[in-house]
Amino acid sequence: MVSEEQFLQKHFKQFYLNRKVEGPPDIAAREFGIGSFGQKISKRHLSFNSLQEFNSFLREEAPFFVSYSSALYRFPGKRPMPAKEFLGGDLVYEFDADDLPTGCKQQHDSWKCPKCGKEGRGRQLMCDECGSATNVEEWFCPQCLAEAKRKVFNLLDFLQNDFGFSEGIAINFSGRAGYHVHVRSRAVRQLSPAARIELIDYLTANNLNLFSHFKKKETFFTCPVLKERSGWPQRILFELIELLEEGDAEKIAVMGNTTISKARKVIKQREIIIKSIRSRQIIPSLFGRVSSKEESQSDKFWLSFLNNIVAKLAPIDRQTSTDVSKIVRVPETLHGGTGLIASNVQLDNLKQFDPLKEAIAFGANQTVKVFIIKAPRFHLAGKSFGPFAHQEEELPLHAAVFLLGRNSATMAGD
């Protein structure tokens, strides 16, 4: 019987034989890396002179993962790194649903403590019995993907409206639970390391001085004149008004770090608050008459509310890498852990794009018998599968590849 690895390799090879991967622009100046079964990067410092050479390599090797450098080099294949001679680099932002606190993780993720054996649902990183780091089994679902996409739209808004990057933006599905955004314009390529860090600082609101825009006065805050949604102060103000208009008491309570009943009081006063912001540039004091005690409650509410708005709006987090030598998945290649294609997505198609339908590489006509170790309910090509536990199933090729790639299933004998 063929091994899981041989089986996948055979189908990956077939995939690359049947199509030409467009590859990233300036292919001859990129460093490439490939991965093997269960390992995203097993070899780096590869280079190709042409698209043709790159595609021949894919057909021959059919790697499980293919990555390329966002940087451009004079000698991309040389090592160590300085010998490559850095010429410039694109910006790449990666969004992965694994890092987002989606509620659905409670349904599809699970954890197990390697020390005491306790296990449970959700993405729990520390054992609540013995305090050890747990092993988390991460899955993803349409809700995860939608949340990652929302982050992409948020970033695009900043890139286009705050930075004025209109050219060279390319988006692709990561091949698993997220999206990659590439900015490949000439202006971006020449950015110094310091300028790259500055961009990250801006996007994470790292050196935003909130209170130079929202000044604390005796019983209220002043705010900027409401204009249009670009730049941090305006974004914060627009979001504040939107949240009040939406009037979700639970959400407002969380954002303002207060009780639901206090949040309801805020909602009751929302028309006055919004009018005051619009016409007088004042965020008024809340919760009735102002005694010194009440006043501090109002302050606390607005401080928490404003800070949480900043956290909510920041399109990327502080862990975002500024490493220019990192390599990322080549668009239109296969992700070895899912068998899905890291499909390019046109900007105007992003909203409708459904990777669980449009990034399917393998047909549903062929079925394969596999032994499934464990899998929650998952979705592919408009169908849902599972949940499964220790059972043999005959699955469409794409679903079998999906499980085999992540070691959640093994080949089953005839």
For residues 190 and 89, is the Cβ–Cβ distance under 8 A?
no
Closest CA to 244 of 284, 273, 222, 282: 273
**For residues 116 and 311, which CB has a smaller minimum distance to Zn ion in the complex?**
116
Of 71, 141, 277, 380, the residue at the interface with Zn ion (CB under 5 A) is 141
> Smallest distance from the beta carbon of 354 to Zn ion, in angstroms?
14
> Smallest distance from the beta carbon of 107 to Zn ion, in angstroms?
7
Classify the C-alpha dihedral 70-75-76-82 as positive or negative: negative
For residues 126 and 132, is the Cβ–Cβ distance under 8 A?
yes
Strand ordering across the sheet containing 169-173: 91-96, 178-183, 169-173, 344-345
Residue 144 in contact with Zn ion, rule: CB under 5 A: yes
- The identity of residue 43, as a single letter, is K
Residues 88, 94, 100: CA angle, nearest 5 degrees: 155
Size of the site for Zn ion (CB under 5 A): 12
Q: Which stretch binds Zn ion (CB under 5 A): 127-135, 230-238, 280-288, 394-402?
A: 127-135
**For residues 143 and 320, which CB has a smaller minimum distance to Zn ion in the complex?**
143
> Smallest distance from the beta carbon of 112 to Zn ion, in angstroms?
9
Of 127, 177, 330, 340, the residue at the interface with Zn ion (CB under 5 A) is 127
Q: Which stretch binds Zn ion (CB under 5 A): 124-132, 179-187, 216-224, 320-328?
A: 124-132
Distance in angstroms between the alpha carbons of the first and the last residue of the chain: 9
Residue 129 in contact with Zn ion, rule: CB under 5 A: yes
**For residues 25 and 382, which CB has a smaller minimum distance to Zn ion in the complex?**
382
Residue 116 in contact with Zn ion, rule: CB under 5 A: yes
Residues 393-412, interacting with Zn ion (CB under 5 A): none
**For residues 111 and 362, which CB has a smaller minimum distance to Zn ion in the complex?**
111
> Smallest distance from the beta carbon of 376 to Zn ion, in angstroms?
9
Residues 18-77, interacting with Zn ion (CB under 5 A): none
Q: Which stretch binds Zn ion (CB under 5 A): 17-25, 117-125, 203-211, 254-262?
A: 117-125
Residue 104 in contact with Zn ion, rule: CB under 5 A: yes
Of 143, 230, 307, 344, the residue at the interface with Zn ion (CB under 5 A) is 143
Q: Which stretch binds Zn ion (CB under 5 A): 49-57, 135-143, 241-249, 324-332?
A: 135-143
**For residues 143 and 281, which CB has a smaller minimum distance to Zn ion in the complex?**
143
Q: Where are the alpha helices (DSSP H) in 91-247?
A: 105-108, 142-161, 186-189, 193-203, 210-213, 232-246
Three-class SS state of 336: coil
**For residues 102 and 298, which CB has a smaller minimum distance to Zn ion in the complex?**
102
> Smallest distance from the beta carbon of 115 to Zn ion, in angstroms?
5
Q: Which stretch binds Zn ion (CB under 5 A): 65-73, 110-118, 201-209, 357-365?
A: 110-118
Residue 113 in contact with Zn ion, rule: CB under 5 A: yes
Residue 130 in contact with Zn ion, rule: CB under 5 A: yes
Taking the C-alpha atoms of residue 224 and residue 325, their distance in angstroms, rounded to an integer, is 40
Classify the C-alpha dihedral 175-176-179-183 as positive or negative: negative
For residues 42 and 34, is the Cβ–Cβ distance under 8 A?
yes
> Smallest distance from the beta carbon of 125 to Zn ion, in angstroms?
12
**For residues 215 and 357, which CB has a smaller minimum distance to Zn ion in the complex?**
357
> Smallest distance from the beta carbon of 114 to Zn ion, in angstroms?
8
**For residues 24 and 355, which CB has a smaller minimum distance to Zn ion in the complex?**
355
Closest CA to 244 of 216, 284, 204, 199: 284
Compute CA distances 342 → 24, 98, 360, 409, whole Å.
Answer: 12, 17, 10, 22
Residues 258, 264, 270: CA angle, nearest 5 degrees: 105
> Smallest distance from the beta carbon of 103 to Zn ion, in angstroms?
8
Compute CA distances 355 → 155, 330, 364, whole Å.
Answer: 19, 16, 16
For residues 332 and 343, is the Cβ–Cβ distance under 8 A?
yes
> Smallest distance from the beta carbon of 110 to Zn ion, in angstroms?
13
Long-range CB pairs of 380-385 (<8 Å, 24+ gap) are 380/356, 381/356, 381/357, 382/356, 382/357
Helix 193-203 / helix 142-161 crossing angle, nearest 10 deg: 120
Q: Would you tell me which residues interact with Zn ion (CB under 5 A)?
A: 104, 113, 115-116, 118, 127, 129-130, 132, 141, 143-144
